Amino acid sequence: MIKLATALRRLFLGLVALFIAAPLLVVIGVSFNESRRMSFPPTVISLKWYRAFFTDPDWTDSLKLSLSISALAALVSVTVALPIAYAVWRYRSRAATAMASVGSSLFLLPGVVTALMFSAFWGVVGHVGRAENVVLSHGAVLLGIPIALLSVGFQAIDRNLIEAARTMGAGETDAFRMVIRPAMTPYILCALIYVFVLSLNEYLIAYMVAGFSVQTLPIRVFGSMRSGYEPTLCVGAVIFIVLGLASFWLLAAIGDLPRLMGRHKPLEA
Amino acid sequence: MTTQRRDSLALSVLLSAPAVFLLTLSVVPVLLLLQLSVAHHAEGGLWSPGFELSQYAQLLNPEFLKVAAFSFGLAIVTALITVTIAFPAAYFITRMRRRTQVAWLVGLLSTLSLSEVLVVFAFQVLLSGGGGLVKALVTLGVMAQPQSLYPNVAAVLVCLVYLVLPYIILFLYPALSRLDDDLPAAAATMGASPPRIFVSVTAPLVRGSLFSAFLLVIIFTVGSYLTPLVLGRPQHWTIGILINNAAMGTGNLPLAAAQAVALVLIMAVLFGLARGLGRARDASE
C-alpha cells in the first residue's frame, strides 16, 4: 500500500515535471535544428540559427533593449516598493498601508485591462511609442510583487534584535547597517529578479504602450508570428531560459530559496 | 524634536516620492480608463471627454455576452484543472528533501522566464502535425494518421494551464509548508488511507489558500489574449481579444475601455458572490 502510494506520487510528479519541461525542450530542440521547418525533435543538429541570431542586429538590438527595459523596470518597482514596505513595518503607518494596497492593485487586474489603461494614459500624456513608457508601465503594474516580497522580508526581522542594538547604544544608522540591510538583501534581490523576469517576458503592455516602434524580444517574436516563424526566435527563447535558470540558481546559492518563497519552518539539508 | 515629530518627518520623506509615483501611474490611469469608458468616440481613433453610456449599451448585444460567458467559463475550467494539479504538486514539493526542493523551485521559477509568446509558439510546434507528440501518437497507434492537434479548445486549455501552473504551485507553497504533519500522521495511525487523509484532513486545512489560488487563476486567464487567438478558433475568442481588437484594430478606445470595465465589474461581482457563499458555508458548519 505504502509502496503503491510512493509509486503514484513519483508518477504524478514525473508527469508534472515533464509537462513543465515540454515547451522548454521544444524551443531548445528547434533552436538546434538544422532545418528551417519547425519540427521537433530535431533531425540534424546545427548552430546556424545561433550564428544568424548574433549576426543580425535586429535580434541583438531587441535583446539589448529587452534587457535594459526589464532591468530599469525592476529598479523602478523595487525603489518605489522599498520605502512603502519599510514605513509599514517600522512606523506601522496607515498612509503607507493604504499605498501598499493601491500599489498592489494593478497586478490584480487582467493584463489586457492594464495594457489598455496605460495605452490610453501615454496617449493622453502625448508621449507615444517610447521605451520609457514600457519601463514605467511595467514598474507600476508589477509593483505588487516587490511590495509583497519585501513586506514578508521585513516581518521576518526580529524586532527584539533592533531593540537590543538600541539598548547597547546603536543609532538608527547602525541598526540599519547591522540588522536590517543584511536581513533584507536576499529579499531585495529576489524582488529585483522576479520583476526583471516578468518584465522581460511581458508583451501585451509593451505592445500596447509602444506598439511596434519599441521592438523588445517578445514583441519581435509576436510580430514574427504573423509573418511566419524563423528558428532564430528560438535562440532568443533559449537565451531567456538560460538567463532565468542562471538568475534563480544564483539566488538559491546566495539566499535560502525555500525561505524566500515563503517557507516558515527551517529545512534541514 | 519629539519622537513623534521626527517619525512624521521621516515618513513624509520616505513616502512622498512613492506617493507621486502611485498617483500618476496607478490612480490616474485607472480614473482615465473610467472616463474613457463613458467618453465620446469619434471617427479615426479619436475620442473626446464627456459622459455617455452608448459604449456600455453596445455591450448588451448577445455577441458580446456570449464571448464574456465563454471567457469566464474558460477561466473557471482552467482554474479547476490548475488547482487540482497544483495542490498535490505543491504539497509533495514542500515534503521533499532540501536539495530536491530547491531544484523544483528553480525549475518552476525558470519557466516564468519563458514569455507567453514563446509558450504559445512551443505548443504550436508540439501540437502541429509534424510535431513530436503527433508522431509518437501515430507510432503508438493511438492516432491513425498524423493530423494537427490544434486549433481547438483543448489546446487553449492545456496552454493556459501551463502558463498559470508554476505561479499557483509557488503561491500554494508557503501555506502548505506551514501545514502540520502531526494531524495526517494521527489520521494514518487510525487507519485512514493516504488519499483519504489528503481529502479529509489536509485539504480542509488549506481551503482558504485553495480558494485564493482559484481566484488568482481566474484573474490571470479571464483576460487571456494570445493563447485563444493562436491555439483556438474564432468561436473560442475571449474578451481579451475583443478589447484588443477594439483598441488596436478599430481604434475605438471608449468601447475597449467599456469592455475592460465590464470585465473587471463581472469579476468583482463573481468574487463577491463566491466569498459570500464561502462565508455562508462556514457559518452553517
Distance of alpha carbon A94 from alpha carbon A120, whole angstroms: 31
- Which residue in B has a C-alpha nearest to residue A226's C-alpha? B230
More confident residue, A227 or A128: A128
DSSP 3-state assignment of A131?
A: helix
Give the three cell numbers for residue A211: 506598439
Q: Do B122 and A27 touch (CB under 8 A)?
A: yes
B112 is a domain residue: yes
Q: Which cell numbers in the block locate residue B240?
A: 481579451
What was the pLDDT predicted at A40? 67
CA atoms of A77 and A107, how far apart (whole Å): 12
CA–CA distance, B278 with B203 (Å, rounded to integer): 15
Sign (positive or negative) of CA dihedral A81, A87, A92, A96: negative
Rounded to an integer, the average pLDDT of A74-99 is: 94
Contact B15 A118 (CB under 8 A): no
Residue to substitute from A107, A113, A132, A215, interface B, most B β-carbons within 10 A: A113
Closest of A104, A120, A102 to residue A112, by C-alpha: A120
Calculate mean pLDDT across residues A99-104.
Answer: 95
Q: Distance from B210 to chain A by nearest Cα, in Å?
A: 16
Cβ-nearest to B132 among A40, A118, A225: A40
Question: Closest by alpha carbon to A116, among B40, B244, B46, B51?
Answer: B244
| pLDDT tens per residue across span B169-210 | 999 998 888 887 777 778 888 888 877 887 788 778 888 889
Of B202, B155, B236, B26, give the one whose Cα is nearest residue A147. B26
- The CATH number for B170's domain is 1.10.3720.10
Q: With 90 as the cut, is the pLDDT of residue A192 above it?
A: yes
Per-residue pLDDT averaged across A88-94, rounded? 91
Judged by CB atoms within 8 Å, which residues 103-162 of A form the interface with B? Answer: 103, 105-106, 108-114, 116-121, 123-124, 136-137, 139-140, 143
Q: What residue segments make up the domains of chain A, in order of their start?
A: 69-260
- Asked if residue B113 is part of any domain, the answer here is yes
pLDDT tier, A134 (very low <50, low <70, confident <90, very high otherwise): very high
Contacts of B155 (CB under 8 A, 6+ apart): B123, B127, B149, B231, B232
Task: Look at residue A234 in the predicted model and tell me its pLDDT.
Answer: 84
- Cβ contact A222–B14 (<8 Å): no
Report the mean per-residue pLDDT for chain B: 88
pLDDT per residue over A227-250, tens digit each?
767 788 888 888 888 888 888 888
| pLDDT tens track for A15-49 | 999 999 988 888 888 888 887 776 667 778 888 88
Q: Chain A window 6-25: which residues touch B at a Cβ cutoff of 8 Å?
A: 9, 12-13, 16-17, 19-24
pLDDT tens-digit map of B1-32 = 577 888 888 888 889 999 999 999 999 999 99
Which of chain B's residues have a Cβ under 8 Å away from the Cβ of A195? none
CA distance A266 to chain B (A): 10
Give the chain B residue nearest A205 (alpha carbons): B244
**B108, closest residue in chain A (CA to CA):** A20
- pLDDT value at position A203? 87
Whether the pLDDT of residue B93 is over 90: the answer is: yes
Torsion A211-A214-A218-A223 (CA) sign: positive
CA distance linking residue A192 with residue A198, whole number of Å? 10
Q: Please, are residues B259 and B60 in contact by the beta-carbon 8 Å criterion?
A: no
Average the pLDDT over A243-263 and give the result: 84
- B268 assigned to some structural domain: no
Q: What is the pLDDT of residues B220-251, one digit of tens each?
A: 899 899 999 999 998 889 999 999 999 888 88
| pLDDT at position A176 over 60 | yes
**What CATH number was assigned to the domain covering residues A69-260?**
1.10.3720.10
Whether residues B263 and A113 touch (CB distance < 8 A) is answered with yes
Q: Which residues of A touch B139 (CB under 8 A)?
A: none
Query: pLDDT for B54-80, tens place per residue?
Result: 889 888 889 899 999 999 999 999 999
pLDDT at B140: 83
> Rounded CA gap, A15 and B79, in Å?
19
Using the structure block, give the residue that is written with the C-alpha cell 542594538.
A165
Chain B residues within an 8 Å CB radius of A263:
94, 173-174, 177
pLDDT at A265: 67
A window 40-79, beta carbon within 8 A of B: 40-41
For residue B117, the enclosing domain spans: 74-238
Report whether pLDDT(B285) > 70: no
Is the model's pLDDT at A269 over the cut of 60?
A: no
Residue B113 predicted with pLDDT over 80: no
Residue B23 is given by DSSP the state I
Distance CA B154, CA B160 (A): 10
Looking at CA atoms only, how far is residue B68 from chain A in angstroms?
A: 14
Mean pLDDT of B93-120: 88
Domain count, chain B: 1
The pLDDT of residue A268 is 59
Q: Are A31 and A50 in contact (CB under 8 A)?
A: yes
Percent pLDDT > 70 in chain A is 94
SS3 B192: coil
